[in-house]
Each structure stands twice: as structure tokens, then as C-alpha cells.
Chain A
Amino acid sequence: MHDEKLWPSRLFALIYAVGALLMLGYAAWHYLMGDFLRILLPAVLALLLLSAALLRLASQRYQRLSSYLVLISSYLLLAVELDQTTQGTALWIGLPPLLALLLLPLGPAMLLNLILAPLWLALPADDQVTQNMAFTYLAVIVLGALAPLEQRRQRALLEATDPMDSECQALNAPAIQEHLDSEFARATLLQRRLSVLVVHLPQLEMAHEQFGSRLRLELLQRFCRVAHHTCRAHDSLGRIRPSLFWLLLPDTGETGALMVRHRLLYALDATVLAETGAIASRIAVCSPYPNETRATFEQRLQIKGQALMESTH
């Protein structure tokens, strides 16, 4: 999941550190009570939590690991305590499933909750766990998962309604195809012309391989900026494949489109990146023939794009 990178890591680390302090406090309490046998576990777990906090701060890569460390230490302490206390079990058995939902993504959290459910219900020492309590416990697992599910649904809805590409200021493939639909229908109904520029950026793959994703993004964004500068407000730029763009030019004939192509080539030539030099591009012009259907026109566009991409190899 790409968005997990954005989790405010420091806040998480801080909370884990607070957890470590709580554990340490618990160990100290046992010490004061003279209950020396029970000091060891919370003291070790405090160290585990502390390392989880440090891992969380250290690198994004270890965030799942640190979540599991926190889960393991809390589960261990809870299991030991539940086995020994006679009081408040109804409260404490609710903690593990919710902790899992808070720390892990939905799938692993649900799996863990379902697998461990019999354990948590069987652990408390005496027959405090009634059938009623088991149902309450089940309910909290099921209802708790609704919150992450709602988040997931909202993300899916946003993705389905967002027309922009995730990496640059261009429409994504479904959106540009929809624009082609509408511009084609408009040109037919209003008897106007339509042209499409098919643009291939051969440096994109190479830039990624040689200089990493930062340069690739830079290249994409620079290209989009230049393209938006060269065309009019109602022309639409869309990214149909990772390195292939369509620029729809409504009410523009073949000659007009050739002029736009020339302008774009010139502007891209003047856009210089330190690592790769000027932005290289291959641009083809495509206009619908009289009486051509939308499907055949789109097919022609795809074939042109393919030819552009192959000619660079």
C-alpha cells in the first residue's frame, strides 16, 4: 500500500515510546510490590517496544516489523495477565482485536483476530467468559472492521472519480479516452475538425533505469508543463501509456496540428535537464478521415503510438 508511507511516523514512534514507558512503569510497580518474579516480562517487553519505536523512526521499510513487535509484546503481557487476574477480563479481552485493527492493514488484522479469537476467549482463568461475552467479543471484531472498510471504500471512490494521472498534470488513460469520445462526437455533430498529437518520450524508461524515479517524475512534470504552455485551454493532454501521451486538438486541421507539433518540439528542445539534456520526443499527427468511425480512428492512434515506441528501439 503506497499511502502507508505517509503515516506520520514520528507520532507512531512517540506512542510506541509511551507504551515502553508504561511497560517500564509496570515493571517498577512489581519491584515495589516485591513481586520479583514478574519483573522480567514487562522489562523485556519495554525494551521490545523501545526498539519498535526506534525502528519506526529509522526507516519506512521497517514499519510493518515495528507494528508486529508492538502487537507481540502487548499480546504476551495481556496473555500472562489474563491468565492470572480474576477481575476485569470483560474489559481486557477487547483490547487485542482492536489493537490489531489499529496497527495492521485490514486483511492481516482480520486474519489475526479470527485465528486468535478462541485463545483470548479460553485464556481467562475461571468461567468468567459467558456465551454473551463471546458474542460481544465477536461483535467488536466485526464492527471494528467497518472503519478500515469505509476508508478503503472512500479511496476506491476517489480513484474511480479522479480523472488526473497520479504522477503528472495530465489526464489518466480512461479519462483521455472519454475525452476522445466526446471530442470526436462533437467534431462529427458540429462538423468541425479534430487532430490528435501522439507523443512518445523515449527518455522516460532510460531516466528511470539510470537515474531513479526522481528524475523520471521531474521529466514527466516538465513535459506536461511545456505541453500545457504550447496548447490552448480547451486542448486536453492525457497519458495513455507510461511513456505515451495524447494531445487532443479540437477544431484544428492537419496543418494547424503540424504547427502545434513544431512548436512543441521546439519548446521541448529548449527544456534542458541536467542529467539527460534536452527532452527528446517523437510526435506524430493524426486526424480522422471523412466518415471514419471513432473505433477505427482510435485504432489508428494506438497503431501510431506503437510504431513511435518501436522506432526508438
Chain B
Amino acid sequence: MDSKYKTNLFRFHLLLGAGVLALLAIQATQETVRALLWLGTLWLVGSATLHELNQRWPTRTPWQLVPALLLASLLWLSPGQFACWLWAFAILLMLPQPWWLISLNVLLAALSWWRVQAHLSIEQGMSSALILTALMLLGLARSLNYRPLWQGVNERARLMPGTRLWTASQLLEDLPRESARSDREGTHTELILLRTHYHHCWSLAQTMCRALEPFEHCYRVDNKTLATLLTSRDIAHAHQRRESLLASLHGPHRIRAVSLAYPLTLEAECQALASQDRDLVIIEKVTPHA
């Protein structure tokens, strides 16, 4: 699975970068510069090791802030040595990012340029400003191209390649379809919501994916809640399958199982799950229609 989305090369490169930064840190003479370089090293090593973890859920954390701030502070502290890093602001703009971060990057680049040009003649200062602007425009032009890709990654329905773990929006699509289908086929389908602690969520999702049949999927509703649609032949079969599924789950959790024969909305069920006082609530009795 790793080779499928090229993590190995990326991780190797992160570690290589960390190594180079560590070398620089060892040679650094200024205390604060050394501390900042070590910080950068740690950040890169951290990203390399926690990489797998970041993959799981789409995050909106603006991590591009870390390199931008590091770069700006290094340039501010030691403009003589790190002057050649000034151009790296253009590279930072190559990554798709929210607009406020782009303006922050531009601001930081301007500040750093101001620091660097103090050591230069006026002509060189002016020409470097113009070239830096042109380069940053180039970076932005490249990021425009990747914006749809970035949005696609953030809004992808399947969270991890190779697993049957999907987002809540996919569940909202599947819910009415499965409901209609079980009506027509005469099968019994129920929505199972599972609430747990944030750090148990991932291991529970994996256990659930293993315990489910190949035609059932696991959904991540939010960072604490998982969901699945359990399809069985009839109520007795559903009962038996639910029991065996629940027996396989470990760790603290709270569960709500609702038959799809009952008209429901995901939002209301999630609220009910949050406010229910027992650990396990099962609603399988269909209210008689008028």
C-alpha cells in the first residue's frame, strides 16, 4: 500500500532534509539559530514518522505555517548566512494553501527581504525585490494548477487507499439508497453508530472493517464517531450479527443501533447517541404505520 502513494520516497527525503538541518545546527554559532535549526530537524523527523497517521483523516491544519515561520525567523536572525534561503518563499507558495496563509507568506517574505537588503547595495536590493516578486508569482501560478487536486484530496470520499473507510458525506449518500434497497429486497438493514474516545477511533475503525462483510462499509462521522450499515436476512440474523460485531470491539464505547425501517436522519441519531444515558441502545421495533 505504501508504494501506491509514494510515501517511501517522501519519507526518505524528509529524513534527508532533517539530516542536513542537523548538520547546519551543529555548525551554527548563534544560540537561537541553533535552537531553531534543531526545531526544524525535529519537525521534519516528526513528519516523517507520523506520516502514516496524517494520512488517515483529512486535516485542515495549516502546517505550511511551520516552515514559513522558521524560514522567516532564521532570515531575521542571521541574514548573512541564510540569505540564499530568501527565494524559498516562492517554493512555499507552490503548495496550495488558504488565502490568509498566502498573504502571511508574502508579508514574511517582504520582512525577510528587508533584513537581507540591508547588507546589499541599493541596486542589488531593488533587483532582488523585483526578482523575488516574479518568483513568488511563478510559485502562485504553479499552485493554481494544483488547487483542484488539493481540494480533491481534502474532499475525498474514501479515507485510506485499500480500506473500506469512508466519510460522513458518503454515508449521507448511502443511507437513503440502502434504505430503499432493503425495502425492495426484504432484508433487514440497521444503522450502527459508535462513539468512542478520539485515540481509540482509529483502532476501532480497523477492527470494524475486519469484522464487517465485504459489502458493508465503515464511515467516519466525526473525530469520535464511527458508523456502519449492517445488512442481514431478517431480524434474527441481524441480532446474531450485531452480537458478534459488538463482541469483537474493545475499548470504551457507546453504541446506538437503529433499524432503517424506522424513518431517521443521521443528525438526529448522532444527537441521540451523544445524549443517551446507557452504553447500548437498540431500536429494532418498527413503529406500526397508520
Whole-angstrom CA separation of A88 from B95 in the bound complex: 28
A207 within 8 A of B: no
B213: contacting residue among A3, A156, A186, CB under 8 A: A186
Stretch from B14-22, B243-251, B271-279 contacting the other chain = B14-22
Chain A: minimal CB distance from B175 (Å): 12
Main secondary structure, interface of B, reads: helix
**Which residues from chain A contact B289 at a C-beta distance below 8 Å?**
none
Whole-angstrom CA separation of A195 from B215 in the bound complex: 16
User: From residue 113 to 167 of chain B, which have CB atoms closer than 8 A to chain A?
Assistant: 116, 119-121, 123-124, 127-128, 130-131, 134-135, 137-139, 141-142, 144-146, 149-150, 152-153, 156-162
User: From residue 1 to 44 of chain B, which have CB atoms closer than 8 A to chain A?
Assistant: 4-7, 9-10, 13-14, 16-17, 20-21, 23-24, 27
B142: contacting residue among A102, A132, A143, A144, CB under 8 A: A102
B199 within 8 A of A: no
B231 within 8 A of A: yes
Docked-complex contact B233 and A191, CB < 8 angstroms:
yes
Whole-angstrom CA separation of A160 from B92 in the bound complex: 26
Docked-complex contact B81 and A132, CB < 8 angstroms:
yes
A123 within 8 A of B: no
**Which residues from chain B contact A7 at a C-beta distance below 8 Å?**
141-142, 145
**Which residues from chain A contact B139 at a C-beta distance below 8 Å?**
102
Give how many A residues have a beta carbon under 8 Å from the other chain's beta carbons. 71
Which residue of B has the minimal Cβ distance to A70? Answer: B138
Give the interface size class of chain B: 35 or more
Chain A: minimal CB distance from B69 (Å): 14
Docked-complex contact B95 and A147, CB < 8 angstroms:
yes
Stretch from A134-142, A165-173, A208-216, A237-245 contacting the other chain = A134-142
Docked-complex contact A154 and B213, CB < 8 angstroms:
no
Contact with B along A126-165 (1 / 0, CB 8 A): 0000011101111110111111111111111111111100
A95 within 8 A of B: yes
A147: contacting residue among B21, B81, B91, CB under 8 A: B91
B214 within 8 A of A: yes
Which residues of A line the B interface, CB within 8 A?
3-4, 6-8, 11-12, 15, 18-19, 22, 26, 29, 85, 87-88, 90-95, 98-99, 101-103, 131-133, 135-140, 142-163, 181-183, 185-186, 189-192, 233-234, 250-251
Identify 12 new A-B residue pairs, CB closer than 8 A, beyond the known A19-B134, A103-B138.
A7-B142, A8-B145, A88-B120, A94-B86, A101-B91, A102-B142, A139-B85, A142-B17, A144-B91, A161-B157, A183-B215, A234-B177
